Structure 1
Amino acid sequence: MSFLSPIWLIVLLFIPLYLWSARRRRWHSNGWLLVAVAMLTLALACPVISQKPITVEQAGSDVILAVDLSYSMRGTDISPSRLEAAKKLLRSVVRSNPRERFGVIGFTTSAIVLSPLTKDTELLEHLFEGLDESQIITKGTHVMSALELARKMSHATQPLVILLTDGGDEASYTKEASFIREKGLAVSVVMLASSEGSTLPTPEGGSLKDDNGHIVVSARNDAIEEIIHEGRMIEGADIGAVRSLIEESRHEDFAGSSSVMRYQELFYFPLVMALVAFIAAFTSIGKKLSRALIPLAALIGLSAEGGVLDFGYLYLAKSNYEEGNYERSAQLYGSLASPYARYNQASALYKAGKYQEALALYRSLRSDDPAFKANIFYNIGNCHIRLQAFAEAREAFLKSLTLRYTKAADQNLRAIEGVKEQQTLSVRKEKKDQFAQEENKPTGESKPSKAGGGSNMQTDMASGGGGDEGKKAQSDPRLSMSQGKAKLSSRQYELINQRSVHETKPW
């Protein structure tokens, strides 16, 4: 059992005060009033029992966010800086559009994939937080490289591409505009610079200067409006305008499914008990019930403590999981003995980046339920992928598919087909052949918990993806998935900074 509105349980804290104020009165009246208040509080907290989740088919659009990472994005005419404003906008956009699938490109004089198309908003938020602009020294912008890479990321007919930039360096974008129309891209621009411009701070605390010793002032380049196609120009980090743009441009670029938890309402039980207790408080029925219930209450009290503690652990574990405190959630789930609690503990360890520990826990689970066992083998396969043990991952996915077919397990098996041990997966997605981003949240159970499968927990969706069909997995630098938080590798910063030496004119 769990509660949909647990905030009402705070009222129970006032019951000791009520007991103290009623200590000189007769128990049979005030005691039943106490029971009535407690039962009414429980009814308001909406107690429910989690039922078997149902699968809901969903569809959404591909949105590619291309972020200008050149040195000129350090300008402060957009507070606190152009790049910081871009990162804040990115976090808000991916958090408020759960239906879409987002891919992220970083570009300067070259472009690389920072994240393939995914619905894992938590991963994307960690990516934006971990982006260290101090390691980016490129002083130039090549928009065409970002557009070319965006077209390769998605097989959608017309994916939405949003460029977050100060306008770049070119006096004309005719070539880029022709490419956009030829390849069927819908392009919008978020202009993160002002007409007055800004100086560019240096790590030493001064301002960037050109070869002649003059202070560089970087202003917006309105020539980039030429590349806008089936989109618009958005001034500044206007989150509302970007959300509206995504909503208006929505297509069914991909399809997939997600699990939705169902609940059986129980509020009427405590409500009826509250009514009975209220009647007992003001009639002679209360005295008779009191004599009968006191021995029974003493007997029940001997076994109630464990169940109450279990509910507390489950509630705290789920709350910590939803807040992203995965290690704390794993500790709390570890205090319980049920196989579902150990499964949830393993899922929390997985999200915390502790793949070896999660793998050991998944392997220790035993069940006669084929669907549950299929989920266990699926997660074991995901752990092996994170640990780059692809042979073991293939074996686990085959076992999962033998027990129950799921699109996610099938996609993951295809994605690592032929990949050798210790080889990194390609960041480029392949059509119907990529590593699915679905990772199981804590599952529900019939005990007092809606542990992790609740409707208020976001569930990733394994779905068809974009990319170049037929390409083998390559060893291109990619987003590091073996850590608890997404951070760029030194090799990725090296690629961002290609052809950056000797460039001193970012404007």
Structure 2
Amino acid sequence: MSILYPGFLWLLLPLAILFRYRRKKIIETVHLIILACLVLALSRPVLMQGITQSPIEAQEYTIALDVSYSMRAKDINPDRYTFAKKTISALLKQNPADNIMLIAFTSNPLLLSPPTTDHQLIEVALKSLNLNYILTKGTSLEKLFTTIASMKSREKTLVLITDGGEENALAKLEKIVEKGNIHLHILALGTVAGSTVENADGSLLKDAEGHLIVSRINPILEPLAEETGGTYMSAASTPEATAETLYRTLRAKSKTQHFITKKQHRYTELYGIPLFIAILLFILLHTRAARFLLTALLFFGITAEASILDSYRVEQAYRAYRTHDLNASKSYLKKVETPSLQSRFALGSIYYKEGDYAQALKYFASIRTTSPAVKQKLYYNIANCYAKQKSYEKAKIYYTKALQLGKDKDAEANLALVALLADKKAAGLGIAHPKSQSSAASKSQEQTENKKKSRNEDQPSSGSGSGGENTKSRKEQQKRKLLLDPNTQKQPLSSKVYDLINKGYIRETKPW
């Protein structure tokens, strides 16, 4: 057994002192026992069940954000830098499983966040960056590309968000990109007409001769993307629309399918035991109708997966589904407070019937189960979604996964079909529709599996702490408090960070 929040156990010390010097009265003794049970519940005792690994489809890419002085120009509302930050924030929400690295660069690149799937950490690093401390005016794409090319990963997908760079170095930059095996996606922020740049005091930036500086989009960015086989795009109407277009481009240009193995500590929560004891003692001590309340508690119980009302809604949803009333079925499932395997599977089946294969895929992919039979059905349905989206290579993978768990004539037939369509896709042949398994049949199969097993769904990790070692738990808890507490003050970046970004700015020969 482990304790997730051992810091709460310090509260037992004053309770022990009070217990030592209490008056020998039953009421005081029971009150102290109730408080001790509440402290134990707050400390989150758990029973460790080991580490699970699950492959998650995701992409790996690096975001390079230009933070030079020219990004303050306001030819894009409200300004180029703010638009870029909002675009990155929206991009981080597209797929929480993506492994992303964040780099800020001017004349020198600086790593702000190493590759991570914890997008909240990237958000914190992004929000902590203050443009007022960045003095560099120039932008060096050569140093950025050289740094990216030196990384060990085979495929280097780079999302470059910038307005400038070297003007007469197209051949040199192209050579670095190709030699470093960099897949380049450029989001150009700025206009051809350009804009003046404001200083912190509101005055306009001028050069050494006293002329106003007008920052324009670098004309070599578009040919650089074309010559290296990358993509070039400009800002859309909103950061959200820009991020959506950029993410679609990333998925379309991805040459290989990436699967990230996510490790997760699984454990059984035990806090309910001391909490139940505390409530029971309180009722016995202060309620005359204690025996009736105890009978009610024993009758209804406390379920971890779903309430009685949730079970009723899922049952009604399946009934509506069998009568082909998809709207009513979806309405019932949307009201389920604690999503279960059955409710997610049903929602995925409904969206599949409605032709929203991307949404159906999200629900099917979100289900975790230890039942081989249920896994086989999930893989089959995921493969169908990919086949409907004409992603035949991905469909082949999941049909194969389904067949590895058991024989299935439909899966065999569909696998042969998508293999043929994958080979003939270039010829423009029409796509046939794979057979779809009904949600009702899936439910009956799941109910059979429920009888054979004590549970049919993985217990999700209740928190992000490991629970294995007390020191690690404390660090994880402190990290979560900083990230999740809206009242927590954001920690600024250290002066060393800005020193590295501004390195060499005094000797800038061509800052613009």
TM-score tier by shorter-chain length is 0.3 to 0.5
Greater length-normalized contact order (CA 8 Å, ≥ 6 residues apart):
1
Greater helix proportion: 2
TM-score normalised according to structure 2 size: 0.47
